[in-house]
Every structure is written in C-alpha cells, then in structure tokens.
Amino acid sequence: MVYIDLNELQRTNKLTSQGFVEPSEFNLDEFGINLKCPLGIKLEVSHSGKTDFLLQGIVETRLEQKCRKCLKPVETTLSTNLDLLFRSKDSLKEEDEIEEELQFDWKQGHLDLMGHLSQEIILHAPAFVECHDSCQGLCAGCGNNLNHSVCECPEPPVDPRWDVLLNH
C-alpha cells in the first residue's frame, strides 16, 4: 500500500519517497491489464497554498495485454508522470468542481494512493495492443490462429446489407 502521511506533511515542507509496489496489490483484470513487474514509483509531495498539496512523481512498470486480433500476450513499457493537486475539503468553495478523489481532509491522517496509481496505469496503458502490424488474427469460423496455420473455412459470407447495392 502506498499512502501519504498527512500528519508528517503538516510538519514539513516536502515529503519524498520511492519504492516498488507489487503487482498483486493491483487488480486490473477487468481492464485486461497485467503488471509484469513491480510498479516503480518516485513521489514528491509539496504544499500548495495554505491548505492544499501537490503530488508529483514518476511511475514505471511493464504491462501485459492481449493482442486484439489473436489474443497473444504483448508487453509494453509504461512510464508516466504524476501531477495531481489535492484540495483540502475546508478550503473548497461550493462552486469549485473538484473530483471527489482529489479532495481530502487533513484530519484523515493519511491518504491512500493505490486508487490513483491504478487510475494512472489504466489511463496510460495503450487502448489496444497488436502482437504485430500484420497479425492475421483468429479465424472467425474455427478459431485457428491464422498466423500459425491455415484453415479450410469458407470465406465469410458477404454482409447481406451489401446485397442491395450489389444487385443494382
């Protein structure tokens, strides 16, 4: 777990930390993302104005996602900068439209960052991956991987919506 010690932050100008978070601490299955190695983090927390604070840093890891055509696992490197302004609840005015996740209360003692770290991974992971530019994918008929084998399925039928045009 990664968190900011708000009591300590109150006593000091700046907090820094660095370390690794094990892949098992994340649950990104539903996004089709696996971490292939621990997430490396380097964080710096500094005050912003009288009541708020800024979290800046770098997160790095390697991800595994499935090729969108043939489902083969594909690894990519993720390296992204964090830059989040957290607003103290007592300084917020009603008209301020600040996401709930970026609000905090000094009285809460510490602020859990795991949700934010997951969010960064999801936001910066590739929207899709392909094992190769020319991946042939899987046959829609028999499921064979067409990169490794051919199959004898008939050509897929032409979409009937084209008939109207073709018969003219």
Question: According to CB under 5 A, which one of 19, 73, 126, 141 is a site residue for Zn ion?
Answer: 141
Q: How many residues does the chain have?
A: 168
Site string for Zn ion, 89-108 (x = CB under 5 A): --------------------
Tokens of 24: 């098992």
| By the rule CB under 5 A, 37 interacts with Zn ion | no
Question: According to CB under 5 A, which one of 67, 111, 113, 129 is a site residue for Zn ion?
Answer: 67
With beta carbons less than 8 A apart as the criterion, state whether 113 and 9 touch.
no
CA 143 – CA 151 distance, rounded (Å): 9
Size of interface with Zn ion, in residues (CB under 5 A): 11
Question: For residue 62, what are the β-bridge partners?
Answer: 77
| By the rule CB under 5 A, 85 interacts with Zn ion | no
| By the rule CB under 5 A, 131 interacts with Zn ion | yes
Question: Which segment (6-14, 48-56, 104-112, 147-155) binds Zn ion by CB under 5 A?
Answer: 147-155
Q: What are phi and psi of 70, to 5 degrees?
A: -115, 0
Q: What one-letter code names the amino acid at 29?
A: D
Whose Cβ is closer to Zn ion: residue 47's or residue 72's? 72
Both ends of the chain: CA-CA distance in Å? Answer: 65
Name the site residues for Zn ion (rule: CB under 5 A): 67, 69-70, 72, 131, 135, 139, 141-142, 151, 153
